[in-house]
């Protein structure tokens, strides 16, 4: 029986853990699989004991996710208890709350309207085509491609130009260096109560601060340039400066910095992870790949795709959706209760941390039979209509949903289609594949892939 009830005023059922340490070890080993096991065993909601008497509450059942993220949304705030995340993103859209968040969202939202995004497709398509040309060297030499790094570079380029305009290109390499430095200095999950005082943690903190300092300087350079330029040339940054001036409350440099960094990091890392996993799935499911190639050949041939073309690539879209189910780049969401709150008929105390594991919910057998199977047929219009919509939330739901969801789908389709036009990617021999729960779901051992040019000459 799923853990939901209508008439109770009691805490949710709890899973057992070790004295004092609770379930910390299982969570560190593999939080995604741990949450999945709990979701299958307990259903709707479970209390998970952590270290020193603390707990979190895992909310898995889609109807309870609706209660948490939609019906009772006013009683929850984002979980901002991670100092490194605060340092990197500041008070941008992802972490801010209340009036500050509302104002930013209202001023940023127009840039993500479908009609506005349609205007961006042509330049994005050209950038993708230009970027993919560099893979022909790998196709000729047979040398494996580091697909994870390549997709990071490509999605950074697209996110950077979108956020600060074409001037990003001149700084793309520097931004890549900084973001890699941040990734490698990012705090590892604490290994005990003294973790923060140990040497590696201190060294990492120093390196993280250096990289964030470099980032601040680079973003300030973009802001200074844009303050001298026109709104048209400055991407979303230009729109934010112009929009906030028009309201009579111009954003400060700090506010602009936080917004630029948030949009950039939220935009590229997730999209890169999605591309990496989708190409892995295609490489390991030849029948799906053949069907996708046929659709791309029929609909596009060797033409650079336009916005209208993308709408016709329906099977490709299903492939992307199914990939986002199995490998959701954001594998979990976390909220903190500002007041006691009922969820599924159980009582969540004030200050409780509620976690939604997209990884677990996207694998609930009652919504996703044979959940590990990669099957794009799950996303035909008929199959989607027959399913409860909140069983699938790669971009979250509610007022704090992903502002870039539509953009991410456009970008993903552009990249998938143009890779398919030119190349076949296969997992390199000896490459170990394991999903790891970092800030996004990454391949723990990287993703080296072999590139073959297709017969149509595009990838030569
Ligand atoms: C496949 C790609 C993407 C996935 C899977 C994804 C997923 C998500 C999810 C699940 C959230 C909610 C996080 C939470 O509640 O804690 C979110 C929020 C957000 N995403 Fe995305 N995202 C993607 C691409 C993008 C892109 C391309 C952009 C912008 C360029 C973007 C910008 C944001 C921002 C700013 C937020 C915070 C919104 C707010 O709180 O108002 N994302 N994303």
pLDDT bucket at 194, cuts 50 / 70 / 90: very low
Q: Is 274 in the pocket of ligand 1 (CB under 6 A)?
A: yes
What is the rounded distance in angstroms from the CA atom of residue 38 to the CA atom of residue 33?
A: 9
Instruction: Give the end-to-end CA distance of the chain in Å, rounded to a whole number.
Output: 57
Query: Is residue 235 over pLDDT 60?
Result: yes
Cα–Cα nearest to 296, from 425, 143, 421, 140: 421
Token readout for 368 is: 């996703």
- Residue nearest atom 41 in ligand 1 by C-alpha distance: 400
Q: Is 236 in the pocket of ligand 1 (CB under 6 A)?
A: no
DSSP string, 95-124: T--HHHHHHHHHHHGGGGSHHHHHTTHHHH
Q: Domains of the chain, with CATH numbers?
A: 1-82+331-357 (3.30.43.20)
pLDDT bucket at 5, cuts 50 / 70 / 90: low
pLDDT of amino acid 110: 93
Query: Is residue 355 over pLDDT 50?
Result: yes
pLDDT of amino acid 193: 43
Summarize pLDDT for 79-112 with one digit per residue, the tens. Answer: 887 889 999 999 999 999 999 999 999 999 999 9
CA atoms within 13 A on the CB side of 297: 11
pLDDT of amino acid 329: 98
pLDDT of amino acid 4: 54
Residue written as token pair 């009922």: 342
Cα–Cα nearest to 11, from 347, 408, 356, 430: 347
Lowest mean pLDDT among 10-19, 49-58, 161-170: 10-19
Percent of the chain with pLDDT over 90: 83
DSSP string, 363-391: T-TTTSSSTTS--GGGGSHHHHHTS-GGG
263 Cα to the center of ligand 1, angstroms:
8
Summarize pLDDT for 145-191 with one digit per residue, the tens. Answer: 999 999 999 999 999 999 999 999 999 999 999 999 999 999 876 54
Query: Is residue 198 over pLDDT 60?
Result: no
Q: What is each CA distance from 45 to 56, 248, 348, 395, in whole angstroms?
A: 10, 46, 10, 21
What is the rounded distance in angstroms from the CA atom of residue 368 to the CA atom of residue 382?
A: 15
Mean pLDDT across the stretch 30-54?
A: 91
Summarize pLDDT for 257-291 with one digit per residue, the tens. Answer: 999 999 999 999 999 999 999 999 999 999 999 99
401 Cα to the center of ligand 1, angstroms:
7
- pTM, rounded to two decimals: 0.94
Query: Is residue 2 over pLDDT 60?
Result: no
């Amino acid at each position: 029986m799923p853990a939901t009830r209508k008439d109770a005023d009691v805490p949710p059922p709890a899973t057992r853990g070790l004295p004092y340490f609770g379930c910390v070890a299982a969570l560190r080993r593999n939080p995604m699989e741990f949450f999945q096991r709990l979701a299958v065993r307990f259903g709707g909601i479970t209390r998970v004991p952590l270290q020193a008497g603390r707990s979190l509450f895992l909310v898995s059942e889609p109807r309870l996710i609706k209660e948490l993220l939609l019906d009772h949304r006013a009683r929850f705030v984002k979980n901002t208890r991670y100092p490194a995340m605060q340092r990197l993103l500041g008070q941008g859209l992802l972490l801010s709350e209340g009036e500050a968040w509302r104002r930013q969202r209202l001023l940023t939202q127009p840039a993500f309207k479908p009609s506005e995004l349609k205007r961006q497709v042509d330049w994005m398509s050209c950038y993708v085509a230009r970027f993919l040309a560099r893979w022909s060297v790998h196709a000729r030499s047979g040398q494996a491609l580091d697909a994870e790094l390549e997709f990071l570079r490509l999605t950074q380029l697209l996110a950077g130009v979108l956020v600060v305009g074409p001037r990003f290109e001149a700084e793309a390499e520097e931004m890549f260096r900084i973001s890699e430095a941040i990734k490698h200095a990012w705090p590892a999950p604490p290994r005990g109560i003294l973790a923060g005082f140990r040497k590696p943690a201190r060294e990492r903190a120093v390196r993280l601060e250096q990289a964030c300092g470099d980032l601040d300087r680079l973003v300030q350079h973009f802001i200074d340039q844009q303050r001298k330029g026109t709104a048209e040339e400055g991407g979303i940054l230009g729109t934010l400066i112009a929009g906030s001036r028009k309201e009579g409350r111009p954003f400060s440099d700090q506010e602009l910095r936080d917004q630029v960094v948030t949009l950039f990091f939220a935009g590229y890392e997730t999209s890169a992870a999605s591309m990496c996993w989708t190409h892995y799935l295609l490489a390991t499911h030849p029948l799906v790949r053949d069907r996708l190639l046929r659709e791309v050949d029929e609909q596009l041939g060797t033409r650079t795709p336009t916005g209208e073309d993308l709408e016709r690539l329906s099977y490709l879209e299903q492939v992307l959706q199914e990939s986002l189910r199995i490998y959701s780049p954001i594998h979990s969401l976390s909220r903190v209760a500002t007041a006691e709150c009922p969820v599924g008929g159980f009582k969540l105390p004030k200050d409780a941390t509620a976690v939604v594991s997209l990884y677990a919910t996207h694998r609930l057998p009652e919504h996703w039979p044979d959940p590990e199977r990669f099957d794009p047929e799950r996303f035909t219009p008929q199959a989607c209509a027959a399913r409860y919509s909140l069983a699938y939330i790669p971009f979250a739901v509610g007022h704090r949903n992903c502002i870039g969801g539509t953009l991410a789908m456009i970008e993903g389709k552009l990249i998938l289609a143009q890779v398919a036009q030119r190349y076949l990617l296969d997992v390199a021999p000896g490459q170990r594949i394991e999903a790891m729960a970092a800030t996004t779901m990454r391949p723990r051992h990287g993703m080296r892939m072999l590139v073959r040019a297709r017969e149509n000459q595009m990838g030569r």
